Structure 1
Amino acid sequence: METKNILLVGVGGQGTITAAKLLTTGLMASGYDVKMSEIHGMSQRGGSVSSQVRYGSEVQSPVIEAGTADIIVAFEKMEAMRYINYLKPNGKVIVNDKEIWPMPVIIGKAKYHSDIIGELNKLADVTVINASQLAEELGNEKVTNVILLGAIVKAMGLDHIDWDQIIANNVKKKFIELNQIAIKKGMDLV
């Protein structure tokens, strides 16, 4: 199987790395060769975070080069724009309809782009979902990342993997059922 490249991008505290680790665990349990790398940046201060997951029959490197990502999943809109150059031609972008203003915007030194989705639509095949709102409706905004994981699973055709079991084995017991519901919600969105 040819190597597939998934780039997860977001802001510190959104669970980007946790989603990538769950994805990696599920892929490995299904027999894929998987490599993962992560960049934290100033993640504890609300800075950019990215996780790269590559899987296939034999993966040589954990690094996704510019222009080679099959899919970019952005947990925040501005991050989708920041990493769009990593998308391969005919790749797909899934964007959480969420704005988290960086410090320069908060203090008035910069402006948050008013039409990021419009700009992204000019550049790629984009699916916008409101994972944060769905997570709130489920009672816990922290499952936004698992909703987005479900969107990745469906978009990449990985729904044959037993994600309920992966979640049961890797999430605190009191959050298992909520996360299992969240991943299914994400799958239904794509």
Structure 2
Amino acid sequence: MTKSILLVGVGGQGTILASKLLTTGLMEAGYDVKMSEIHGMSQRGGSVSSQVRYGDKVESPVIEIGGADMLVSFEKMEALRWLEYLKPEGKVVVNDYEIASMPIITGKADYPTGIIEELSGKAQTTVIDAARQAEELGNPKVMNVILLGTIIQAMKLNDIDWTKIIKDNVKPQFVDLNLKALEVGMNLA
């Protein structure tokens, strides 16, 4: 049975790194894994998505509308933008974090209100404040690994050696920090 996880966010949030760590861990665990990325103006704070599909045999890297088992949103407006990709029984993990898009920055639009309430009304939703958790760990850049921890816990992927994955893929000076971030995320889910 193939499982599908959609990671969405804004350029610069570490969405792609989180999906690469996830993909590496799944491959090392023996799953057939397909990953695809979309970088929409990511260097300018645009939307970024990463689709990770895994199982015994994965035919396509693309998640169809209504096909994701889990939607993990690094920024809350992105969760609404991608919600149609979630299965009816799928889970949403949303980072309670706002990044203003260009229309909002230039005053042409307002950041929408009530996003968390709308998500909660449409899907099984877990809200976390990964930014605050990352600040408490001393580095806002580990928000992505905190969110990765929520995926590992929610999808029951705890039997994979995530310590090894982090050590093999993160600069040595950041390994301990990222391991702490992973643990925080797993405890939040």
Question: TM-score normalised to the size of structure 1?
Answer: 0.99
Give the deviation of 1:132 after TM superposition.
1.0
The answer as to 2:66 corresponding to 1:67 is yes
Give the deviation of 1:80 after TM superposition.
0.1
Q: Which amino acid aligns with 2:154?
A: A
Q: Name 1:188's counterpart in structure 2.
A: 187
- Counterpart Cα distance in 2 of 1:129 and 1:120: 13
Give the deviation of 1:106 after TM superposition.
1.1
Give the deviation of 1:125 after TM superposition.
0.5
- Counterpart Cα distance in 2 of 1:158 and 1:16: 19
1:16-165 matches, cutoff 5 A? 16-165=15-164
Q: Name 1:3's counterpart in structure 2.
A: 2
- Counterpart Cα distance in 2 of 1:63 and 1:29: 21
Query: Residue by residue, what CA displacement relative to the aligned partner does 1:115-163 show, whole Å, maximum 9, x if unpaired?
Result: 1001111110000000111001101010000000000000000011110
Query: Residue by residue, what CA displacement relative to the aligned partner does 1:53-110 show, whole Å, maximum 9, x if unpaired?
Result: 0000000110000001000000000000000000001100000010001010111101
Report the secondary structure of 2:173's partner residue: helix
5+ long unaligned stretches in structure 1: none
- Counterpart Cα distance in 2 of 1:114 and 1:5: 29
Give the deviation of 1:7 after TM superposition.
0.1
Q: Which amino acid aligns with 2:88?
A: P
- Counterpart Cα distance in 2 of 1:130 and 1:160: 26
Q: Which amino acid aligns with 2:166?
A: I
Query: Residue by residue, what CA displacement relative to the aligned partner does 1:2-40 show, whole Å, maximum 9, x if unpaired?
Result: 000000000000000000000000000000000000000
Report the secondary structure of 1:120's partner residue: helix
Q: Which amino acid aligns with 2:114?
A: D
Percent identity, please.
67
- Root-mean-square deviation (CA), in Å? 0.4
Runs of 4+ that moved beyond 4 A? none
- Counterpart Cα distance in 2 of 1:49 and 1:164: 26
5+ long unaligned stretches in structure 2: none
